[in-house]
Amino acid sequence: MRRLNRKKTLNLMKELDAFPKVPESYVETSASGGTVSLIAFTTIAFLTVMEFMVYRDTWMKYEYEVDKDFTSKLRINIDITVAMRCQYVGADVLDLAETMVASADGLIYEPVVFDLTPQQKELQRMLQLIQSRLQEEHSLQDVIFKSAFKSASTALPPREDNSLQSPDACRIHGHLYVNKVAGNFHITVGKAIPHPRGHAHLAALVSHESYNFSHRIDHLSFGELIPGIINPLDGTEKIASDHNQMFQYFITVVPTKLHTYKISAETHQFSVTERERVINHAAGSHGVSGIFMKYDISSLMVTVTEEHMPFWQFLVRLCGIIGGIFSTTGILHGFGRFVAEIIFCRFRLGSYKSTSVPLSDGHTSNHLPLITDNSTH
C-alpha cells in the first residue's frame, strides 16, 4: 500500500511539473543560438553587478510636518572672528518675543590674529569650494548627511606657529540658548547694556577710525552641534571697504530631525541671503555699523531618514532581470531566424529559374530539366 501511494504521489507530482524536460536528442543547437546565449549571460552578469551596487547604496527620504514644539529653547553655535579688539566689540541677541536683550554669557571673547596660517587657509579654501558646489548641486547635501559622524569636525585647526604679532582681532565663539522665535544676533561697537526700551551699546568711547567689521565666520549653526555637517555660512569671509559698514544676514531656520545609520540627532538647517552697505547718513543710508544676523524660525519641520533597499525587493528585481533578458533574447533570436529563413528562401527560389530546352521536333520546353546521377542515361 505504501509503495502504491508513493507511485500515485510521484505521478501526481509529474503531472504538476511546469518545467517539462525535453530529451537532448530533440534539441537543435546552432552557432547563432550560442552567440545570443553568450550575449545574454554577459548582459545578465553586468546588470546583476549594477543592481547589487544599487542595493548597497542608500538614499535620503524627506518628510514634512508642522513643528509643534514651541516651548523648548533654540541653541545657536557661534564661531566668528572680527577684525577689532575684544574691548571694542559686543555681541548679544535681541529676542522679539520678550523685546529685551537675551544674555550672551555663553560666548567667549578670545584675542587672536586675524590673518590665517597656511594650513588654516587651505581648510577655508576647501570649505568655500564645497559651499560653491552645494549651491550648484543640491543633491550633495545628501552625501553630507550620510557622511556626518561625531568624530569629524569642520572647525579650523589651531594656530601652530608662535607669531610675534600682537592680536588685532577678536574671536567670539561658544553657544547660547534663545526662545524659538524670530530674533537678531548682532556684533557691533561697544558692550551691550540693558535698557528699559530695548538695549544699547557703549560706543561713545570708541573712535570711528578704529571701526573694522571685516569678519570671518568659521562656524554658525542652530540646534545640536553635529561636527561633519557643513552649514551655509561656514568658511565665509567678508572684508570691509569702509569703517562704517553694515553686514546683514537674513536667515530662515528649519527644524530638522536627522536619522542615518551613523547618527541620530535633532538639528536645524537654514538658508541665508546676504546684504552689505556703507552707513552714510548724509546720503540717506542710515543704520548702525556691525554684523547683524536676523533669523526666523520656520513652522515646518523636516525629518530626514536614510533608507536602504529591502533584500526581498533586491531578489524580485534580480529575478526580473534574469527572466526578462532570457525572454527578450529568445524572442529576438526567433525573429532573427525567421527573417533570415525568408531571405535565404527567396535566394534559393531565385537560383532555380526555368530554362528553355530545344526538342528534336523544333519545339521548345520551359520545364525544369530533371537532375539525374548520370547524364548519359
Mean pLDDT, range 58-80, rounded to an integer: 86
Which among 97-101, 206-210, 355-359 has the top mean pLDDT? 206-210
Average pLDDT, the chain: 78
177-to-86, 170, 216, 356 alpha-carbon distances in Å: 22, 22, 22, 110
pLDDT interval class at 138 (50, 70, 90): low
What is the domain partition of the chain in residue ranges?
Answer: 30-58+307-331, 67-297
Q: Is the pLDDT assigned to residue 107 strictly greater than 80?
A: yes
Task: Give the pLDDT of residue 82.
Answer: 93
pTM value is: 0.67
- Side-chain-facing half-sphere of 263: CA atoms under 13 Å: 21
Q: What is the pLDDT of residues 42-55, one digit of tens each?
A: 888 998 899 888 88
- b vs e for 227-260, b when ≥16 Cβ sit within 10 Å of the residue's Cβ? ebbbbbbbbbebebeeebbbbbbebebbbbbbbb
The CA-CA-CA angle for residues 185, 191, 193, to 5°, reads: 85
Task: Give the pLDDT of residue 375.
Answer: 45
